Every structure is written in C-alpha cells, then in structure tokens.
Amino acid sequence: MPINNLKGNSMRKRKSDHELAEEIANRLANTPSGGRGPAADAQILLQHATNTGGGGLRQQYLEQAQHELAKLDPARYRSTIQRLQSQIMALQGRHGDTKVAHVARGELVVPTALQNPEVLWALRRAAAPYNIPLEMLSVGNAMNRINPNTGAPEFGIMDWISGSFNQGPSQADTENTTNVAEAAAQGATARAAAARIQASNVRKDYINNVEALGPFDNADREAFKAQMQQATPTEFLTKIRESRGDYLGPNPGSVGRANVTNPVVNQAARELGVAGRGLLGANVVLGLADTATSNNPARTGVANVGAIGGGLLGGALGAPAGPLGAFAGSGVGGIAGYKGGEATYDYLHDLWNSR
C-alpha cells in the first residue's frame, strides 16, 4: 500500500457526535422498516440514546426520536406517544438525575432539611382550601406524576404499580385525562361506606351475644366488648375510646344488667348501617355516571372498579394511623386503583389485539 494512503487513513477526521447521530437517523430513514413504522424507529433511537450514557450524542438521538414521534397520528397512537414521550423526557435528565417534577416559574421547592412538622402543618393548612393533597406536591410521590395541565400520567407512572404493564405500545383509542379528584372521592367514599356498614354489623353481633348472657355475666360481656372494639373501624373506635376510655366494665351502680344493651347506641348503629349503604349506592352512581359520560366506557368502568378496590385497600392500610390515616389512604388508594384499572384495561386490550 502506498505511504500516502497510509498517511491519509491515519489522518482521517473523526466524526462528531452530531454526524454520527445524523448518519444513524439517515440509515433508519432510508431503510424499509418492515412495517415497524415511526414508533419502532423512535424506540430504536431511544435505545441508542440509552446506550450512549449521556452527552451531545444522546441529545441528537432524542431529537431524532422526537422527529419520528411527530409522524404518528395522536388520535390513534395517543398511548404510544405518551409512553415514548415520557422516555424521552426521562432521558433528558441532568447526568443521573431523571426524576422530573412539574414545577412552574416562581414555585417554591422546600428542601427535606426544612420539612419539619411545623412547616408541613402550615403547608397542609394552606393547601386545604384548594383541595390539594400535600402528597401531590411531593417529588417522587405517585400523585405528583400527574401532569396538572393535561391530567395525564407521565414519567412511567405505572412503574410503581407493576412492571408487568410495560408491555410495549398501546393503540387503544382511550381518554387522555383522568379526574383525579373524582377517583380520590370514590376511594374515600368506598372506605366511608364500608366502615359504617362494618361498625353497624359489629354492634349487631355484640347485641346478639350480650342478650344471650345472664344478668350477672359481666366478665363475658367485657370479653365481647373487647372483641367488638377490635373489629370496629378506627373512625368509630376513636370516638368510643374518647367517651369511655379503655374501661370495659359496667357503669357505676349498674347491677344485674349484663345482658342489657344501650338502646340509644343500638339505634345509632342501625342508622350507621343505613348511611353506609346509602354511601355505597352513591359511590356506584358516581361510577356509573363517570362511565356513561366517558369516551371509552369499558376502560372507565374497569377504572372505577379499581378506584373502589383501591380505596378499600388504601383505607385499611392507613387505618392503623387513625381516622386521618384511613381517609388519606382511601383517597390515594382510589387514585392508584383508578390508574391500575386503566392500565389493566390497556394491557388486556393490547394483548387481545396482538393475537
């Protein structure tokens, strides 16, 4: 080989990151995609962006992926666009920081070191008139991943529910927004209804057991009362203990009445049961109305079932912290259940269409 050629090869200019990205993008553009289309090409570019480890080359890949996404019809590929767009936004993080918060100009970020009980209490009080849960303002919380402008989930919101839902593009023609407040209300209403019905049933069982006792069986009555309190929802157990404390015995001066229950409390328990069933009916009506007015009734119906289930589960998990814990847990559970219902529908929809 001539010396001049060797010299020419050794002095060949190294391609820049921009040129490398453009070269790969041109190959994709000039190579038949075998029916894959822009979504598949964007996914390939995102994989290249992930593998580069950052820098200018990654940004070039992301720009090309964004260009491919622009070719998709939003009406048909809404879920696919959202999923890939969230990946693009996550990869645009600063160095290893890929946790994105919805922060507007002028909004204040409170460092963890300053989040003492007094500051958190003041923030909760300030947010209460606007019905804004403090969790929605906390970076990393699931509620914070809802875009406040569109109401749509972003930044891999389903990762915290189940990785099994990340199964590729969804082509379901679904609604773009979720009424977060309504989902939280459904969860809280489901918990409130269940707690009232349970409290009423517990009192009914207590009455049946006590009325079978003898008039002086105080020890057995105390045992039944202890069992009743263990089964009573925290919302009502707190009120019972506020009025009676931990004392389970008969009232002072009460003799020979171990098998007699308080008629006023009995009536209140029956009314609780009626109220609980009324709330349950209202919850069902709320879900049916949401489903009937939806652009995708089947998906919304599944989401509403998820909201009720999530509210019940969240309320049960939050109950050990007291009434406020049960309320907050049911609201967050309602939102999570609604999102989980939507994701379940999308997953099954895609699975069915891919047969």
The domains of the chain are located at: 16-91, 188-278
- pLDDT over 80 at 251, yes or no: no
User: Distance between CA atoms of 290 and 303, rounded to whole angstroms?
Assistant: 10
Q: Which residues contact 29 (CB under 8 A, 6 or more apart)?
A: none
Q: pLDDT tens across 287-337, in order?
A: 888 888 777 888 888 989 999 999 999 999 988 888 888 888 998 999 999
E strands present in the chain: none
Q: What number of CA atoms fall less than 13 Å from residue 177's CA on the CB side?
A: 11
16-25, 46-55, 151-160, 211-220, range with greatest mean pLDDT: 211-220
Q: Which residue, 309, 292, 287, is CA-closest to 182?
A: 287
133 touches 143 (CB < 8 A): yes
Determine contact, residues 179/342, Cβ cutoff 8 Å.
Answer: no
Specify the pLDDT at position 311. 92
Residue 151: band (very low, low, confident or very high) from pLDDT cuts 50, 70, 90: low
Dihedral sign, Cα of residue 293, residue 295, residue 296, residue 300:
negative
Question: Which of 196-226 are b and which e, b meaning 16 or more Cβ less than 10 Å from the residue's Cβ?
Answer: bbbbbebbeebbebbeebeeeebebbeebbe
Sort residue 108 into left (φ over 0), alpha (ψ -120 to 50) or beta.
beta
Report the pLDDT averaged over residues 118-136.
76
Using a CB cutoff of 8 Å and minimum separation of 24, what contacts does 252-259 make? 256/215, 256/216, 257/215, 258/210, 258/213, 258/214, 258/215, 258/216, 258/217, 258/218, 258/220, 258/221, 259/210, 259/211, 259/212, 259/213, 259/214, 259/215, 259/217, 259/221
Dihedrals φ, ψ of 94, to 5°?
A: -85, 115
Sequence-separated (6 or more) residues with CB below 8 Å from residue 256: 215, 216
Are 90 and 101 spatial neighbours (Cβ–Cβ below 8 Å)? no
- Maximum average pLDDT range among 24-38, 91-105, 115-129, 171-185: 115-129
Which of 101, 58, 310, 92 has its CA nearest to residue 189?
Answer: 310
- Helix 37-52 and helix 78-91: axis angle, to 10°? 20
